[in-house]
């Protein structure tokens, strides 16, 4: 969002997209159901969002005054008189459309929720460029619900302006997406930005049995991700205690955090995605140990080292 000079007697509040799931209540009365970045627990996270929304929608909802600034935020300030639309409530969704496209059942459940709510709704997507994203967007648009694409770098969702006299106007950020032709989901499974389910198993296995962790890894279809040479070649790492292993990550956020900690610029590495079974089969062939990275509750990086004997079993 470009810099705006806020006149005396006015206040401006901006709500931005958040990486974690949450329901946000704006000062102007709009509700924002944020599903967060794609994760390996999208189904349970959507369940929690639905339950919270159902509880909120069962109660009286505040009216929302939506303003259309016609491309200029200054039009929201007095003495301008922008076009406004009073609404009996407003529900906004923020989704990772590409990640939802990897899980058709979850995408279908979201569409069912959009059908269920008798309230004005708009859906915001983080990226509309992929084939999966466009298929999810087209499905939403068949419900005559508007879809908007968030704009970097701030990914603003709602801009609220409190004018003199206590008038509060709500404006939608992002860029409207033209109606797309319906299409089927292309299929395939991609890595996830967040992996709360796998992280929980990694945290638990640090001090207990690895049975549940290994059961997950042996059947997991969501790829693990690894920092690689720009050519794509996987690279081993040796830790101060002498352990040498192939470092991998449960999700892209932990990988990027590790790259920052190592001081790696974006052009110094490639991201390789490999389904766990294939990764362990490759490591077994090379005789490598594998170290899976996660961050503990204090935000410190940790690794679960899987020795070659277990790597062979997981790659079988």
Res 189: pLDDT: 77
Q: What is the four-CA torsion angle of 175, 179, 183, 184, rounded to 10 degrees? A: 50
* pLDDT tens digits along 261-278: 999 998 999 999 999 999
Task: Read off the pLDDT band of 145 (50, 70, 90).
Answer: very high
Percentage of residues of the chain with pLDDT beyond 70: 99
Give the CA distances from residue 244 to residues 39, 80, 287, in Å, rounded to whole numbers and listed in that order.
29, 65, 11
Task: Read off the pLDDT band of 14 (50, 70, 90).
Answer: very high
Contact in structure between 261 and 237 (CB atoms under 8 Å): no
Whether the pLDDT of residue 1 is over 60: the answer is no
Structure letter (DSSP) for residue 128? -
* pLDDT tens digits along 167-194: 999 999 999 999 999 887 776 778 899 9
Res 187: pLDDT: 67
| Burial category of 195 from C-beta neighbours within 10 Å (exposed 0-12, middle 13-18, buried 19 and up) | buried
Give the mean model confidence (pLDDT) for residues 305-313: 95
Question: 196-314 has which CATH code?
Answer: 3.40.1350.90
Peptide bond just before 96 cis, omega within 30 deg: no
Q: Of the candidates 275, 235, 271, which has an alpha carbon nearest to the alpha carbon of residue 255?
A: 271
Could you tell me the two tokens for 22?
């949450």
Res 117: pLDDT: 85
* pLDDT tens digits along 68-83: 887 688 888 999 889 8
**231 vs 21 pLDDT, higher one:** 21
Rounded to the nearest integer, the mean pLDDT of the chain is 92
Res 62: pLDDT: 84
Domain boundaries, the chain: 11-176, 196-314
Phi and psi, residue 158, nearest 5°: -130, 140
Give the mean model confidence (pLDDT) for residues 90-107: 92
Whether the pLDDT of residue 144 is over 90: the answer is yes
* pLDDT tens digits along 111-143: 999 998 889 999 999 999 999 999 999 999 999
* pLDDT tens digits along 214-257: 999 999 999 999 999 998 899 999 999 999 999 999 999 999 99
Q: Looking only at Cα atoms, what is the longest distance across the chain? A: 73
């Amino acid at each position: 969002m470009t810099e705006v000079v806020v006149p005396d007697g006015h206040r401006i509040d901006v709500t931005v997209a958040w990486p974690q799931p949450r329901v946000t209540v704006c000062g102007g009365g709009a509700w924002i159901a944020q599903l967060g970045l794609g994760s390996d627990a999208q189904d349970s996270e959507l369940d929690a969002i639905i339950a919270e929304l159902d509880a909120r929608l069962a109660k009286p909802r505040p009216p929302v005054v939506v303003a259309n600034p016609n491309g200029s935020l200054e039009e929201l300030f007095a003495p301008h008189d922008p076009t406004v639309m009073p609404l009996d409530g407003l529900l906004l969704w923020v989704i990772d459309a590409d990640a939802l496209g990897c899980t058709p059942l979850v995408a279908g459940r979201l569409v069912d929720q959009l059908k269920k709510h008798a309230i004005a709704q708009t859906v915001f997507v983080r990226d509309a460029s992929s084939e999966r994203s466009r298929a999810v967007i087209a499905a939403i648009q068949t419900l005559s619900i508007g879809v908007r694409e968030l704009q970097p770098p701030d990914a603003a969702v709602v801009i609220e302006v409190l004018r003199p006299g206590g008038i509060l106007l709500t404006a939608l950020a992002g860029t409207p997406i033209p109606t797309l032709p319906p299409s089927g989901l292309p299929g395939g499974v991609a890595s996830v930005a967040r992996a709360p389910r796998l992280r929980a198993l990694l945290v638990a296995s640090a001090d207990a049995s690895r049975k549940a962790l290994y059961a997950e890894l042996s059947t997991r279809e969501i790829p693990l991700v690894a920092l690689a040479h720009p050519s794509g070649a996987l690279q081993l790492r040796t830790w101060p205690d002498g352990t040498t292993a192939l470092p991998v990550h449960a999700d892209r956020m932990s990988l990027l955090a590790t790259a920052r900690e190592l001081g790696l610029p974006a052009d110094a590495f490639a991201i390789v995605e490999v389904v766990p079974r294939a990764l362990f089969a490759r490591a077994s062939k090379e005789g490598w140990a594998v170290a899976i990275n996660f961050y503990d509750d204090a935000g410190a990086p940790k690794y679960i080292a899987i020795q070659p004997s277990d790597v062979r079993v997981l790659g079988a």
